[in-house]
Amino acid sequence: MEGWRIMKNSTILKITVLSLSLLNLTPNAISVALADITQSFPDTSPSTIAMILTLPSLFVIFFSSISGKLSTVISKKLLVLVGLVLFTVGGVAPAVMFSNSLIFILIMRAIMGIGLGICVPFTTGLIADFFQKDDEQTTLMGFQSSVVNIGGIVTSLLAGILAAIYWSNAFWVYGIGIIVFLLILFKLPEQTRVVIEGTQKTSLGGIVYFISFLGFLFSALTFPIFANTALLIVEQNFGNAASVGITLTFFSIAGLVAGLIFGKVMSTLNKFTGVFGTIFAGVGFLVITYASSLNMVIVGAILTGFGYSTIIPFLVVNTVINTDRSQTTFAIGILLSCLYLGQFVSPFILINIAKSTGNTSQMYTFLLCGAILIVSSIVIFLFNLKKSSALALSNK
């Protein structure tokens, strides 16, 4: 009976910790309504409209680093609860207090980004805190990626349906923050603060910053799946906002599957897991580039989703492995800041490249990113052949 109670409590704790990951992809859910929002603000530049999608990332970049540092002096549970309140209020406000003011929407997106920034370091940081066994930790990191995609599935599908009624309704999907708030409030135990003996301070190694840089590049190259899919589908007359929601749902379903089998993939491929994921993402983008129907776009999204949700936990696991336990939350905050920085700068970089080449079609953007991802996978493969320790799982 006692063993069953321990197992039950462990399962509840896992569900509670993993529930926080439902939020990671939710800022991108509003992408299904970008085409409709563009039509509602015809005099607004595309880069400004893109800020509805990217602005939360800017604030996540800053506040995830701050949150990681604050966690050493403030209760992690309290930080998460404050973050969830800000996330939910900023998320649903454009639907509750609908206004034709783009400035109001951007302010609320900024508040949502602050809340998410406070929370995201703990999506994996709490796994590292509560679950110490290497195999259990790696498996849960994969599950965490799956939960991220469950959040993406639910919010993208609902946002597509709601946006088909009217685009502002899509903001209601951020009410998911209420569910997570209640779970954290009642089911997450307060942690006993770990006291590190001695006075020597630990610092992040160069490998952590290298991993974070790779995360930045990968995030920037894959962000068009969120930022440009809606525009591409409308540009090619493949469908409407609901079609975009369905496409991103399949992206998330593929990511969910990738997360569930991540532990097995990682144990089999080890350092070549990154190559594996990058190839999938690159091929997915190329399929979208030459798509002649919505079904082909969905196939490309599935391939990209599988690759995306293989790479992200791969980077997280390597960050945890190469970081002292006392610095884990901070290190993860650095990685996630770089991931969100990649998302933020991606539209601006790609728009300027498109303008400089004279080709501003959405297809060209996917072709460019797909080609770079494929070339990158080849470079990483050759590098790993020569450097046996490159991003390989090894004991500290």
Residue ranges of domains in the chain: 18-30+45-188+204-386
Q: How far is CA 183 from CA 177, 309, 361, in A?
A: 10, 25, 44
Task: Please give the backbone phi and psi of residue 292, each rounded to the nearest 5 degrees, phi first.
Answer: -115, 5
Torsion of Cα atoms, 291 then 293 then 298 then 299, to 10°: -50
Q: Tell me the CB-side half-sphere exposure of residue 111, using CA atoms within 13 A.
A: 18
Q: What is the pTM of this model?
A: 0.75
Does domain 18-30+45-188+204-386 sit in CATH 1.20.1250.20? Answer: yes
Are 54 and 339 spatial neighbours (Cβ–Cβ below 8 Å)?
no
Please report how the helices 46-70 and 102-119 are oriented relative to each other, as an axis angle in degrees rounded to 10: 30
CA-nearest of 327, 324, 312, 239 to 277 is 312
Determine the Cα–Cα distance for residues 121 and 138; give it in Å rounded to an integer.
17
- Cα–Cα distance for residue pair 141/138, rounded to 1 Å: 5
Per-residue pLDDT of the chain (396 residues; tens, 9 = 90+): 444 444 456 888 999 999 999 998 788 888 888 888 888 888 888 778 888 988 898 898 889 878 877 877 888 899 999 999 999 999 999 998 876 788 999 999 999 999 999 998 898 888 878 887 667 777 888 888 888 888 878 888 888 889 888 889 999 999 999 999 999 999 998 765 544 444 444 566 788 889 999 999 999 999 898 878 888 888 888 988 778 878 888 998 898 899 889 888 888 888 889 899 999 999 999 999 999 999 999 999 999 999 998 998 899 888 888 887 777 778 888 888 898 889 888 888 888 888 888 887 888 999 999 999 999 999 888 887 776 555 544 444
Query: Does residue 118 contact residue 8 with C-beta atoms inside 8 Å?
Result: no
What is the C-alpha radius of gyration for the chain, rounded to an integer number of angstroms?
Answer: 20
Strand, coil or helix: what is 162?
A: helix
Q: Please, how many CA atoms are within 13 Å of residue 349, restricted to the half-sphere of its CB?
A: 16
**CA diameter of the chain:** 70
Q: Is 225 helix (H, G, I), strand (E, B) or coil?
A: helix
394 C-beta neighbours (distance < 10 Å), count: 12
